[in-house]
Structure 1
Amino acid sequence: MSATLQTASGRRSKRLALVSRIIRWVTLGSFLAFVLSATALHTLGYVGPSIHAICPYGGLESMLSLIAVGTFLKRIVIGTFVLFGTTVVLALVLRRSFCGQICAFGGLQEFFGKLGAKLFKKRLVMPKKLDAVLRYLKYVVLAVTVAMAWITGELWITPYDPFNALGHLADFNALTTSYLIGFIVLIITLLGSLVYDRFFCKYLCPAGAMYGLIGQASPYTVRIEESACIHCGKCSRVCPMNIDVMNAKNGRVTSPECINCNECVTACPVQGAIHTGFSKKARIHPLVATLLALTLFLAPIGIAAATGNMQLLPNKYEGLTWGTLAEGAENGGEGGEGREAEEGFVEEEEEEDYTAINGYAPSDLRGSYTLSQTADLLGMSMDELYSRLGLPGDYPSSTTLRDAAADMGLGLSDFKHQLFD
């Protein structure tokens, strides 16, 4: 090949690498925007997915609960299982590409990392021995959450989950009560990301730990061609997971820490020195890898949405009568698909009669309202409210209707109906 052709090929490869990076960042930003907007609309009283419905990790917990105690976890819906199955397949094919190419929370951390790089000249350098020990924490979190789902049949991690807190930013009362610890972890994670890339991903994320373990079965990996490598170290410096890519054993990055973001590949100044693929010969360009990851993720979701097994977009429910399936979807399981969907089936519901109290109907009471707020709105004493709801007298009045319903083992719609019986 002539020097001219080599130069042209190199320029084309760099352009494709740039396109790959742009698509990755646009994808991360788009999924983050979807999560923030959809969960905010859900919290504010629209039909749509809650944070529980769009977190694939809940699918694992609910599956274990079904095996252990014979019931699905509350707040987990069919769409969650679609997400879980999709991400597992993605991990088997392209390792942790979900983490590096799609995950909204991971993207948020990287956005804060980029902001921190602009604000601060130096990044935090974690001592290698301490870093190695801390990275095992996420496996401990994985083991604990799996065990608790098996034992209790509940979403045990919810109050401590920063991603869950992110999904409740529109409900400050819930953030400062039910999800306070998760909110604190969220703040620490984002502040930490300003000086240290993907803080939560490295040390605490149980989903990342799970995908890392599953991904070990995939032949897909990052490979370094020693003969072409100039040992500039740029690949190692740009890695958001702080992997020493340049010195990877046997020229292959097999660490479960790798999130397959392709930042190392696109940053390499030498064409062909570093690449991804299923073997040394079966190379995949970063752009193709990104598009393949998106296809493997979005195709099953699109099919599920088309067949009515996953609600993606929020729809305003004002004007619907209480007891309709649409309003029940918002109120029944905090997952955007309803309590019926939690149980794996959907049936038509008959419209139920009720007598308004103080001008309020059941559909006027949002799941984010606290018990004390609800009592004020309905003009009831706390004793009367607790009596109608079957709550003990010492139950915290700052609890939201949604969480109280979950504690009582009821869907939100049924729980609110008790006030109007």
Structure 2
Amino acid sequence: MKKTISKLQGLRLISQIMFLFLMPELFTLIFNQLKKLYSMILKGNFDVISVWPQLLTMSTIFIITIIFGRFFCGWLCTFGAINDFIYIISKKVFKTKFKVDEKVDSILKYLKYVILLFIIVVIWTSGNTAFDSYSPWDAFAQVDNISGAIAEYTGGFILLAIIAIGAAFIERFFCRYLCPLGAVFTILSKARILKIKKLRDKCGPCRICTNNCSMGIKLYEMDKVNSGECINCFKCIAVCPRKNTKVNVLGEDVNPLLPSAIAIAAFTGVNALGGVMNDGMVNHSSNNTAASSSNVNKSEQKKYKDGTYTGVGKGKNPDLKVAVTIKDDKITNVEIVSNNETKGKEALSTIPNKIVDTQSTDVDVVSGATMTSKGIMEAVNDALSQAEIKDVNQKKYNDGIYTGIGQGKNPDLKVAVTVKDDKITNVEIVSNNETKGKEALEVIPKEIIEKQSTDVDAVSGATMTSKGIMMAVKDSLSQATKNN
């Protein structure tokens, strides 16, 4: 039995390390797909047939969780693995023996539901961007570029530090108390068919299983573990001196290796199939659109009317107002009329000059003043939309396929944008050097086509890759507008 347990825990460790290096963005990908699902339901445009490939990863994990429980948390999740590794190292090095009172632990576990509710109501429903810089997932995605990202994600890095400190003293600190996705999984796993059976009449007074439970579940009170907090780490099986703790599926005791292997194989298999199908759909769409694209349609008409136009945007605070002057189809002046910014004021003088110099709102943000910078760009875009000549006979874009380049986490992120009848019909990632945040490569192009705009939400945890794609698409569209 010891050999089986040792093999089980060894395989779990291998699984955690493998997913940590091969799919570090998995947590973020699932959370963003959940956000997309909620957004579509909220807007009333949810279509199962057209959208299911975009939600395949989330759907697969949710189904596995409903049937077998939280294998994702115990075996696949990057954040969970890092929490485990921090705790193990801290325990070995600092000999930490900190224990949370059971009543306090039970109360704190409700905090993750509060966080989930806050994200849904305050951020997803209202579209509030004020908390973008506080995302610990975005901060984690930038750890290899911390010097360049710490100003933009100061709040996120602070939260990440708190999570790391908490993990050093409390096993699975983030998973127990803070994880919003964990709150969803706790609810979903309530009806699972896999249970951990532990008959109390065969137990001694040791409470070793409870003392070793990663999630602090009071196992000594249970004959079967029905708690949604259980992450199927199976440590309670490994430490039981009487071999009284067993995995039970539909009333039958089974080797814990079996459901573990099924859960991991099901996810990796379906996820790989989804990637192949998605690539096929993208290529099919690209080929069809390319075949139907026409020659460039040129026009001599002006894009903007001369005059001064007022636009409004939201920086760190709302009502950032600018006045944009247009002369001979050029931006000749951008003036900040009023603002409520308390920080990042250097952007108020820098960004307008950049926009005039480049004749574009696609300029670099001022480090440490990201939200103010974006607010100015938003306000200028608002003003330019008013200045646009609304001629039904004038097309904004020329039909064709245009290649653009942007910089994500790494340079040379190349896209091919297909335009037909003044609409973006396809965005294809031609090549990239991204090592992290790859979920954005799938999500952002679809969002751009859906909204017919590059002004889409960045994928949490893949912000730089998201912005790189938007930059590359803008570069493509700038070519499509030449000679218009």
> Measured at CA, do residues 86 and 385 of structure 1 come closer, stay the same or move farther in structure 2, by a change above 3 Å?
farther
**Any stretches of 5+ residues in structure 1 without a counterpart?**
1-12, 37-50, 311-339, 354-371
Please report the RMSD computed on the Cα atoms of aligned residues, expressed in angstroms: 3.9
C-alpha distance after superposition, 1:180-216 (max 9, x if no partner)? 2222211221222111111111111010000110111
Judged with a 3 Å threshold, the aligned counterparts in structure 2 of structure 1 residues 414 and 110 are, in CA distance, closer, same or farther, namely: same
Aligned letter for 1:256? G
Post-superposition CA distance 1:89-114 (Å, at most 9, x none): 01111111110111111011101110
How far the C-alpha of 1:84 sits from its partner, in A, is: 0.5
Q: Does 1:144 align with 2:118?
A: yes
Deviations 1:160-186 (A, max 9, x none): 332332222233356313332222211
Partner of residue 278 from structure 1, selected from 249, 252, 259: 249
Helix, strand or coil for the counterpart of 2:247? strand
Of 80, 85, 97, the residue aligned with 2:71 is 97
Q: Distance in 1 between the 2:285 and 2:147 partners?
A: 32
- Give the 3-state SS of the residue equivalent to 1:189 in structure 2: helix
In the alignment, is residue 297 of structure 1 matched against residue 297 of structure 2?
A: no
Secondary structure of 1:389's match? coil
CA distance in structure 2 between the partners assigned to 1:307 and 1:261 by the alignment: 32
Q: CA deviation at 1:299?
A: 1.9
Correspondence for 2:470:
411
Quick one: which amino acid aligns to residue 286 of structure 2?
E
Tell me how far 1:398 sits from its aligned partner.
7.0
Measure how far apart 1:118 and its partner are: 0.3
> Residues 131 and 389 from structure 1, CA distance in 2 versus in 1: closer, same or farther, beyond 3 angstroms?
same
Cα distance, 1:54 vs structure 2: 5.3
- 1:264 equivalent to 2:236? Answer yes
Query: What amino acid is aligned across from residue 472 of structure 2 in structure 1?
Result: S
Aligned to 1:182: 156
Which residue of 4, 14, 17 corresponds with 2:5? 17
- Whether 2:64 is the aligned partner of 1:125: answer no
2:218 to 230, 244, 249: 244
SS in 2 for 1:221: strand
Task: State the match for 1:388 in structure 2.
Answer: 360
For 1:417 and 1:159, locate their aligned partners in 2 and report how far apart those are by CA, in whole Å: 28
- Letter of the 2:226 counterpart: T
Deviations 1:113-166 (CA, angstroms, capped at 9, x unpaired): 100110122322223333222211100111222234652458887543323322
What is the SS of the residue equivalent to 1:222?
strand
Paired residues of 2:27 and 2:77 also in contact (CA < 8 A):
no
Contact 2:86/2:167 (8 A) holds in 1: yes
Change (3 A) 1:95 1:417: same
CA displacement at 1:53 relative to structure 2: 8.7
- Is the aligned partner of 1:111 residue 2:85? yes
**8 Å contact 2:354–2:363 — kept in the other structure?**
no
Q: Structure 1 stretch 51-60 or stretch 187-196: which is displaced more?
A: 51-60
In structure 2, the partner of 1:26 is 14
**SS of aligned partner of 2:171:** coil
Partners of 1:92 and 1:224 lie apart in 2 by 21
Of 120-129 and 297-306, the range deviating more from structure 2: 120-129
Task: Report SS of the residue matched to 2:246.
Answer: strand
In structure 1, the partner of 2:277 is 307
Cα 1:230/1:259, change in 2 over 3 Å: same
CA distance in 1, matches of 2:54, 2:90: 33
Aligned residue identity for 1:172: I
- Corresponding pairs, count: 332
Q: 1:55-85 CA deviation, whole Å, 9 max, x = no partner? A: 212111101111223579xxxx977612110
Aligned to 2:391: none
Please give the alpha-carbon distance, in whole angstroms, between the structure 1 residues aligned to 2:44 and 2:362: 25
Paired with 1:148 and 1:190, the residues of 2 have a C-alpha distance of 26
Q: Which residue of 2 aligns with 1:331?
A: none
**Alpha-carbon distance in structure 1 between the residues aligned to 2:168 and 2:184:** 25
When residues 157 and 136 of structure 1 are mapped into structure 2, their CA distance, relative to the original with a 3 A threshold, is farther
Q: Matched residues in 2 for 1:108 and 1:392: separation?
A: 33
3-state secondary structure, aligned to 2:228: coil
Structure 2 counterpart of 1:228, from 178, 195, 202: 202
Residues 1:385 and 1:144: Cα distance change in structure 2 (over 3 Å)? farther
How far did residue 407 of structure 1 move?
6.5
Report how far residue 30 of structure 1 moved. Answer: 1.0
Query: Aligned in 2, Cα 1:345/1:240: closer, same or farther, shift over 3 Å?
Result: farther
Identity of aligned residues (%): 23
SS of 2:200's partner is coil
- More contact order relative to length (CA 8 Å, sep ≥ 6): 1
| 1:56 has 2:39 as partner | no
Change (3 A) 1:393 1:155: closer
Q: Which residue of 2 aligns with 1:85?
A: 59
Q: 1:211 to 1:385 in 2, by over 3 A?
A: farther
Deviations 1:245-278, CA, capped at 9 Å, x for gaps: 1222xx122222111111111221222x011223
Closer, same or farther: CA 35–172 of 1 in aligned 2, 3 Å: farther
Alignment of 1:355-394 (within 5 A): 382-384=354-356, 387-389=359-361
In the aligned structure 2, how far is the partner of 1:160 from the partner of 1:71? 29
Q: Counterparts of 1:58 and 1:140 in 2: how far apart (Å)?
A: 18
- Structure 2: which 5+ runs fail to align? 297-345, 375-405, 409-443, 445-453, 459-466
Counterpart contact for 1:265–1:274, Cα < 8 Å = yes
2:80 alignment partner AA: G
Give the match for residue 288 of structure 1: 258
